[in-house]
Chain A
Amino acid sequence: MEILAPLFLQAGYNTALVTIGAALLGASAGAIGSFVLLRKRALVSDAISHATLPGLALAFIAMVWLTGEGRSLPGLMLGSALTAGLGLLAVDWLTRRTRLAEDAAIGAVLSVFFGFGVVLMTVIQTLNTGEQAGLAGYLLGSTAGMLRSEAELIAVAAGVTGAAIFALRRPFTLVCFDPEYAGGRGYPTGRVDLALMGLLLAVTVIGLKVAGLVLIVALTITPPVTARLWTDRPGQMVVIAALLGAAAAWIGTAISASGEGLPTGALIVLVAFALFVISLLLSPKRGLLAGLIRQRRFQTLVHERQGLLAILRNEPIYDSLTLRRLKARGWLRADGQVTPEGLSAARRAEADAARWQLYRQSHPAEAELLSGRMMEPMARVLPPDLLAELDSRLALAAAKRGEAL
């Protein structure tokens, strides 16, 4: 029962603020992550997040030297943004100017920056300041003991980032789908890409404290991948990913607030993953269950089609599933007699089968692409003018056959 209080914002003002901030962050991460995923650059977010570590450590050291106090969130954010930006530029440069592919460039940048960060963290352990413990939270995410000003900063920054993503949603969509067309319309594709990666970097840096630099990637990738299971439309995918990200961050933060020492980032990731598993099983479009059902339905349609064609050819039907289906559709009476509806359905099936055969002959490549739909009525698969052409050619062939007789 302890978890319910923070979940419904009843656990004090600070916890409520942290939860809301985390949810806004989750929404922004899900939204920007969708575009990054559609641009096929999801791994870049991994490079960015790992490249924050040296900046985080350097900012801490610099602030300890200058002020004696190293844990200021804005200072740490600034430092991590600087090295993350450097990492991003390095990936970009390596990809464009050398023969390295982007995945190799990401691997190189990620490991070098993270390794450098780990060395700096070790140096920090030897510093004579009692604050090192505060930095550990940035690795796996920690909202315990978060200051009110920190929560406010995260909430506002996440909100601003979300608004920027909303404003740029159309250029992003266009550049993700068809960069050449976008260029032809005068969208500066290079700068749109830069804005996309810049906002991803902003979300990563804002989310360091809540989700941790090792786990923030899960918040930018998992919700978009999950959303893709639910929709085939770009706008909906972004909105669903934002909602999923917000839900994961909200619930994860609330659970973390209800127990001692549970790392927030890990809980957020687990919630996001649970949402993914549920979606993978149950999504009506791309879910595993829906896939099984579709397969069964296709099987049924094949049996119906074969049965109808057998009726026309006066062939006996032995298959029990076929007989059941034909009777269930009212095409066969219980005594095995064909009904008038059965006969007209059989004629339609025969006509469509002939159209398919002609289409496969005349347009082999296209028919291959559409073969998954060959049990549907053809009028739903092909545009009317193409259908008319097929029909007239079939009529012509039939007339010729008539003449020959």
Chain B
Amino acid sequence: MTATAELVVDAGRRIAQDHPESPLAIAGLTVRYGDKPVLFGVDYATPPGAMLAIIGPNGAGKSTLIKAALGIVPKVTGEVTLFGRPQAQERHRIAYVPQRAGVDWDFPATVLDVVLMGLYREMGLWRFTGARHRKTALDCLERVGMRNFADRQIGQLSGGQQQRVFLARALAQDAELYVMDEPFAGVDAATERAIITVLKELNARGKTIICVHHDLATVAEYFTHVLIVNMHKIAEGPVAEAFTEANLQAAYGGRLSGAQVTRLAGASS
């Protein structure tokens, strides 16, 4: 065992091992970009079957939290387990939906090409894309209402359509945990409804959903659990318990007016 891991154990925070059922558990997660710490000592165990919103002000480290948990950005220290096992072993059970802005939409690909990327692991190195793969991809596009757009060049999609395609790619993986970075940012209302319908349907079938979420007004309507962060963990738990005035005030400080906070937290109870 390495020195850092022992440190975590010494502090009595063996959260990861203590939660073999949790689809995604982190202990003592600390990340920094350059000289700036972005997350500090965050512990959390996602309840199985939860529909979790990670909320917090801009720059609070929400996206960084999921990126570090999935091994996309390096962490300074901390432990991550997926379904009670080391992260690297169980990564195939996770579908990650990054932010749309991180991608060059002028890339030469059609909508179908992007969804097929969700099946690359299955196809392996040498095999060609088969009719079966294409059918799976088209089915996933159907579920997000984009089947008629399969041959469309991705550069010709609106923001909402891009987000639907990203969701379809995640669906193609047939994962057990869906981790999404701001899926509702900059999409139209119809797309927001289409996405939340698909997510609730997945959740009803026992899949766990984690979304980095920025719209506090919809937290109570869409999610069952919240994790509130602002560099440190501020609060966690079922929406009714954790999505409270005091916790929001602690996370957002002066960035939300008192009236806003009261109204938002009141909406959940």
Contact = CB atoms under 8 A, between A and B. Distances in A.
Interface of A: 38, 40, 166-168, 170-171, 173-174, 176-181, 183-186, 228, 231-237, 362-363, 365-366, 369-370, 373, 383-386, 389
Interface string B86-97: 001001101011
B158 A363 contact: yes
B190 A385 contact: yes
Interface of B: 67, 70-72, 88, 91-92, 94, 96-98, 102-104, 107-110, 113-114, 117, 120-121, 123, 125-126, 145-146, 148-149, 153, 156-161, 164, 169, 173, 179, 186, 188-191, 193-194
B116 to A, nearest CB: 9
- Top-10 shortest CB links A-B: A184-B96, A366-B158, A183-B72, A186-B91, A180-B98, A386-B190, A170-B120, A232-B153, A167-B125, A383-B145
A373 B158 CA distance: 12
Contact of A184 (B72, B110, B156, B159): B72
A185 B158 contact: no
Contacts of B158: 363, 366, 369-370
Given A173-B117, A236-B108, 16 more contacts: A167-B125, A177-B109, A178-B103, A179-B102, A180-B96, A180-B98, A180-B102, A184-B91, A184-B179, A185-B91, A186-B121, A234-B108, A237-B108, A365-B159, A383-B145, A384-B145
Contact of B188 (A170, A366, A373): A366
A38 B108 contact: yes
B125 A170 contact: yes
Given A366-B159, A386-B190, A234 B113 contact: yes
Contact of B160 (A167, A177, A366): A366
Nearest to B161: A383
10 contacts: A166-B126, A173-B120, A180-B98, A181-B98, A185-B91, A231-B108, A366-B159, A383-B164, A384-B145, A386-B188
Contacts of A384: 145, 148
A386 B146 CA distance: 11
Nearest to A379: B148
A386 B104 contact: no
B110 A233 contact: yes
A228 B109 CA distance: 11
Contacts of B169: 181
A70 B148 CA distance: 63
B55 to A, nearest CB: 21
Contacts, number: 111
A385 B194 contact: yes
B108 A228 contact: yes
A185 B96 contact: yes
Given A186-B88, A385-B194, A386-B191, A365 B104 contact: no
A92 to B, nearest CB: 17
Contact of A170 (B123, B145, B186, B193): B123
Contacts of A180: 67, 72, 96, 98, 102
Contact of B117 (A167, A178, A236, A237): A178
B98 A178 contact: yes
Given A366-B158, A386-B191, A178 B102 contact: yes
A174 B120 contact: yes
A178 B170 CA distance: 13
Given A234-B109, A383-B164, A184 B188 contact: no
A233 B108 contact: yes
Contacts of A363: 158, 160, 188
A363 B189 CA distance: 9
B58 to A, nearest CB: 19
Given A180-B102, A184-B98, A366-B159, A174 B117 contact: yes
Nearest to A169: B125
B82 to A, nearest CB: 11
Nearest to A178: B103
A224 to B, nearest CB: 10
A183 B70 contact: yes
Contact of B96 (A176, A181, A236, A237): A181
Q: Which of B72, B158, B193 has the most CB of A within 10 A?
A: B158
A396 to B, nearest CB: 15
Q: Which of B70, B146, B164 has the most CB of A within 10 A?
A: B70
A103 B173 CA distance: 37
